[in-house]
Amino acid sequence: MAKWSEKEALESISKEQLIELFKLSAQLMLTIDGLWFLGAEKVMGMDATIKLDESVWRQFGVLEANRMKKFLGMESMTTLEDVCKIVLLSPMWVSVGPEAEIDNGRCYFSVTNCLPQKARIKRGLTELPCKSMGSAYFEGFAPALNPDLKYRCIFCPPDGHPKDVWCKWEVGWF
């Protein structure tokens, strides 16, 4: 009987395949979140589901920041470059077309390919008003990276937004 470990399976594929597997895993993570949200919305309604989801995303932000810091061998984020790197490598962000830029001492994150929003529109649903959930995520994520790090939402549904950018966030020491 043949037997393999996940390490052997991962080592058997190319670097390009590993990158694509990472992206696929990130997409699947958001897919299960979206399916959960749609199911909960049917049972509890939009407002109650959003309230519960805010709590989940706040907790997730803390866990993700701490685990990503540990994975990257960083105790605290001390530069905007570090903050950009950790966001761009985050499984939560990688599947939504993240873009990061540093300007005037602030890091700006934009979501250019929001799969959950695209899935809702494809199903004939309205855009999810996700600003409060994104804010909850950053409430946990930013201080877990560095207690002095602050965030601000520039725009996010239900706010209006350009066609090619779903939401934009500012992170820095301000």
Domain that holds residue 84: 14-172
131 Cβ contact list (under 8 Å, min separation 6)? 153, 156, 157, 158, 159, 167
Neighbours of 133 (CB within 10 A): 21
48 within some domain:
yes
State how many domains the chain has.
Answer: 1
CA 98 to CA 27: how far, in whole Å? Answer: 13
On whether the CB atoms of residues 167 and 157 are closer than 8 A, the answer is: yes
* Domain containing residue 149: CATH number: 3.30.1380
> Are the C-beta atoms of 141 and 153 separated by less than 8 Å?
no
Distance CA 168, CA 99 (A): 9
Question: Going residue by residue through the chain (174 aa), what tens digit of pLDDT does each one get?
Answer: 878 899 999 999 999 999 999 999 999 999 999 999 999 999 999 999 999 999 999 999 999 999 999 999 998 888 999 999 999 999 889 989 999 999 999 999 999 999 999 999 999 999 999 999 999 999 999 999 999 999 999 999 999 999 999 999 999 998
With respect to residue 123, please indicate whether it lies within any of the assigned structural domains.
yes
**Is there a domain that residue 107 lies in?**
yes
How far apart are alpha carbons 172 and 5 in whole angstroms?
A: 42
Residue 115 C-alpha from the chain's centroid: 11
* 78 assigned to some structural domain: yes
Indicate whether 2 belongs to any domain: no
Q: Is 7 a domain residue?
A: no
